[in-house]
Amino acid sequence: MPAATSDTSKITDYDAATAFLGEWGPFQRRVVFLLCLSFIPNGLTALSVVFLADTPDHRCALPAHLNLSAAWRNNSIPLEEDANRDGALVPSKCSRYKVENLLNYSERGLLPGSDVNLSNVPKEGCLDGWEFDHSVYTSTIVSEWDLVCDQSWKKPLTTSLFFGGILAGSFVSGQLSDRLFGRKMVMFGTIGLQVVTTLIQIFSSSWIMFVVLYFLLAVEQISNYVVAFVLGMSESLEK
């Protein structure tokens, strides 16, 4: 019983026991508000991949110099069933009819469908790249570096590498802020690095360069968030 009485006396006056925390006053509100402002770019970065890596409608491109009749140019892409559109027939995204055969039919004056059964025409891959629909996006990383068909695996990998950076940053941010540079230095440093990394990323010349910078951006983003959160908590408790 004496032990229980002692424990009870320790928590009798909760307000007195927590008085050192201070009140939720103007200072705390200003600190939290300013720190929340620094989080805004983090949200923009995390969600930007939805737009940056969207896949526009696309089809195989034909060489610009190819001397095909309008009929064969309009029927150069085979039709395939699209499971996302209830089995509707849409132009193939990853194949075209063999160009040599199309030229032969065009030169002989044959017409697709009536003179030539399209199901018998051999197919080939998109050897000359793709044509993308630009009605929604001027450009995405998919249309910029042809991340479709046999290269489509690079699109989800882009997102995975970003969250890999989030994971890595979660581990290193505490070490950088608490043992090496201090919280304020890391917070403002990561904000500056995010600006620089984003500007460089705009001018990425390859997908590899883009994802490396995107990984670094994720490290900087989560480091800023974690350090700013801890800094806000500690500053609020000290006043």
CA distance 59 to 48: 25
Radius of gyration of the chain (CA): 30
Contacts of 91 (CB under 8 A, 6+ apart): 59, 77, 78, 79, 80
CA distance 174 to 155: 31
Q: How far is CA 91 from the centre of its chain?
A: 27
The per-residue pLDDT for 204 is 92
Residue 229, phi then psi, degrees to nearest 5: -65, -50
How do the domains of the chain map onto residue ranges? Answer: 20-53+155-238, 58-132
- pTM for the model stands at 0.77
CA distance 212 to 3: 59
CA distance 14 to 110: 92
Q: What is the pLDDT along the chain (239 residues), one digit of tens a residue?
A: 455 555 555 555 655 655 555 666 777 778 778 877 877 888 888 888 889 999 999 899 988 788 888 888 888 888 888 777 777 888 889 999 898 888 888 888 888 888 888 888 899 898 888 999 999 999 999 999 999 999 999 999 999 999 999 999 888 887 777 777 777 788 888 888 889 999 999 999 999 999 999 999 999 888 888 887 777 776 655 54
The per-residue pLDDT for 219 is 92
Distances (CA, A) of 147 to 151, 153, 158, 178: 5, 8, 11, 41
